[in-house]
Amino acid sequence: MWLAVLLTVIAVVADSHVTGSEGSYFQRIAARAGSPTRYDYSKALSLSILFYDAQRSGKLPAHQPISWRGDSALHDGDNGHDLTGGWYDAGDHVKFNLPMAMSTHTLLWGFIKFQDAYTQAGQKNAMCDMIKWPLDYFLKCWIPSQNTLYVQVGDGGKDHSYWGRPEYMNMERPAFKVTASNPGSDVAGDTVSAFAAGYIVFKNICGNAAYADHLLQAAKSLYEFAKNHQGIYSRSVPQAAGFYNSQDFKDELAVAAAWMYQATHDNKYLNDAKQFHVPGTPWALSWDEKKITADLLLYEITKDPSYKSEVINFVKSYKPGGGIQYTPCGLAFRNEWGPNRYAANAAFIAVMAAADGIETHDYLTWAMTQINYLLGDNKYGISYEIGFGAKYPLHPHHRGSSCPTTTHQCNIGDPGPNPNLLKGALVGGPDNQDNYDDKRSDYVKNEVACDYNAGFQGALAGLVHFAMHNTLPAAPAPKCHH
C-alpha cells in the first residue's frame, strides 16, 4: 500500500518536470502498483492530446509540439473582428463551432473527473495548454454587447475543393453568426458548457484564476443569450446544415444549465437543467446529441434515481443484446460513419458512470471491450489511433498530414503514406463486418475529427484512473485473433 502511495506521489511530482517519454516512464513504474492493462492507456491518452494540437488554426505558439504545422488562417475574422484560432474540424479547414464546443466540454469533463490520470501520465500541463486553445477562440466568438455569437469560419463547399496544407490556403473564409433574431441556442449552449467546465478546470486544475473568471463571466452572459433566444443554429446558418445539421437544442441547454450549476451552485441553473431535460434513451453521445451528458450530470448533482435509470438504459442499449449491431470482432456498430467515435463515446459514458458508482465492474469491463478493440483487439491487430502500437493507419483523410512541408502541391491520390504522422488521431473505423481500408480517399473509414477523439480520450483517462487505484477489472478476452 505504502509503495503505491509513494509511487503515485513520485508521478505527481514528476508531472511538473517531465513530459513525453519520461512521463510515461514514471507512469510505467507507478502502474506496477496498480491493475495490469493489455494496452498502455496513458500512452494512448498522451497521443490524443497531440492530435488536437495538430488541428490548431491561427498563430501558433513557440512551444507548438507539432513540428510540421505552422501559422495558418491568420486573417479569419469579420469586418475587422478577430476570429483567429480554434481547431480545424476534421481533415478539412473549416471551423465548425458546434462539434468543436462539444469536443471541448467533453474533454474538460473527463479532465475534471480523472485529473489524477492526466497527472499520472505526465500530461496535466499538456492538457491545460491543449484545451485553452479552443476556449480562447470561443471568447473571441462571443460579443455580449451585440448578442452575437460567431459559429463557423470557412465555407464547407469551397474548403472541400482544396486539397492542401492549411498554411497555404488562400480562399475566402466567410464567418457566420447567430444573433437574437437568428438564434442558435444549441451551439450557444455547447459553448456555455465549454466556458463553465473551463472555469472549473482553470480554477482548480490549471492554476489560472484570472482566466477562469473571464470564462465564467462569458458563460453567464452567453447562457442568458442561449436561454432567451431559442432556436436551431443550422436554420439560422444554412451554410452549416450540409455538414452539422442540428436536430434540437434542448439537450444542449440542459447540459449548459447543469454546467452552470456546477460552476456557480446557483439553484436557478439546476431548475433550468431539469426543465430543459428531455426523458428517454438517447441514440448516441455525439456532436448533435448530448442528452446522455445531461442525464449523467443531473444524476451527479441530484442523485435522483430517474436520471440514473436513464444512464443505465443508455449503456444497456450499447451492450450486447441491447439492440445495437455488433461487428463479428466486437465493435458496437452504431453507424457506418465514424463507428469508432460512437463506440468510444459510449465507452466514455460507461466509464464516467462507473466512476459515479453505477455498475462499476460491469461497465468498466464493457468499456474495455470497445477501447481495446480500437487499440488492437480487432481482426487486423491494428490500432485505429494513429501512432499507437506497431501498426496503425498510414493514409488518414487529412490534408495537412498528407501534404509534404516542402511543397505547395499535393494530391489526395498520392499512393504513399502521409508524410506527416498525425499522432493520436482516431480514424472513422471499419464496416459492420470489421473490414477496413487504409485509403486516404475513403473519408467514411479514414476521416479524423475533433469529435472522434473527445470521448475516446476521456475513456482512456478513466481507464488509467481505475488502473492506478488497482480497481480496473481484468481485460476481457478479444473476440478475434489476428
CATH number for 117: 1.50.10.10
Identify whether 3 is part of a domain.
Answer: no
Share of the chain above pLDDT 70, in %: 93
Residue type at 472 in one-letter notation? L
15 located within any domain: no
Main-chain phi, psi angles of 72, to 5 degrees: -155, 160
Residue 310, domain member (yes or no): yes
Q: Where are the beta strands (DSSP E) in 315-390?
A: 325-326, 332-333
**H helices then E strands: how many in the chain?**
20, 8
Q: How many domains does the chain have?
A: 1
156 assigned to some structural domain: yes
Q: Which of 40, 92, 447, 451 is catalytic?
A: 447
Q: Name 78's bridge partners.
A: 81
User: Hey, what's the cell of 169?
Assistant: 490556403
- Catalytic residue status for 385: no
pLDDT, tens digit only, all 482 positions of the chain:
433 433 443 343 333 333 333 344 444 444 446 899 999 999 999 999 999 999 999 999 999 999 999 999 999 999 999 999 999 999 999 999 999 999 999 999 999 999 999 999 999 999 999 999 999 999 999 999 999 999 999 999 999 999 999 999 999 999 999 999 999 999 999 999 999 999 999 999 999 999 999 999 999 999 999 999 999 999 999 999 999 999 999 999 999 999 999 999 999 999 999 999 999 999 999 999 999 999 999 999 999 999 999 999 999 999 999 999 999 999 999 999 999 999 999 999 999 999 999 999 999 999 999 999 999 999 999 999 999 999 999 999 999 999 999 887 799 999 999 999 999 999 999 999 999 999 999 999 999 999 999 999 999 999 999 999 999 999 999 999 77
**Residue 382, in any domain of the structure:** yes
The answer to whether residue 274 sits within a structural domain is yes
Does the annotation count 447 as an active-site position? yes
Task: Tell me the HSE value of 136 on the side-chain side, using a 13 A CA sphere.
Answer: 16
Identified catalytic residue from 129, 356, 414, 438: 438
Q: Residue 79: CB partners within 8 Å, gap ≥ 6? A: none
Amino acid (one-letter) located at 141: C
223 in a structural domain: yes
Please give the pLDDT value at position 230: 98
| Domain housing 66 | 34-468
The residue count of the chain comes to: 482
Q: Report pLDDT for 453.
A: 98
| CA separation for the pair 431, 277 (Å, rounded) | 34
pLDDT at 78: 98
Reading phi first (left if > 0) and then psi (alpha if -120 to 50, else beta), residue 477 is in beta
Whole-prediction pTM value? Answer: 0.93
Question: Would you state the pLDDT for residue 4?
Answer: 42
Going from the C-alpha of 397 to that of each of 90, 335, 406, the distances in angstroms are 9, 19, 20
How far is residue 276 from each of residues 30, 184, 309, 447, measured CA to CA in Å?
43, 15, 18, 33
Please report whether residue 474 resides in a domain. Answer: no
**pLDDT at res. 33:** 61
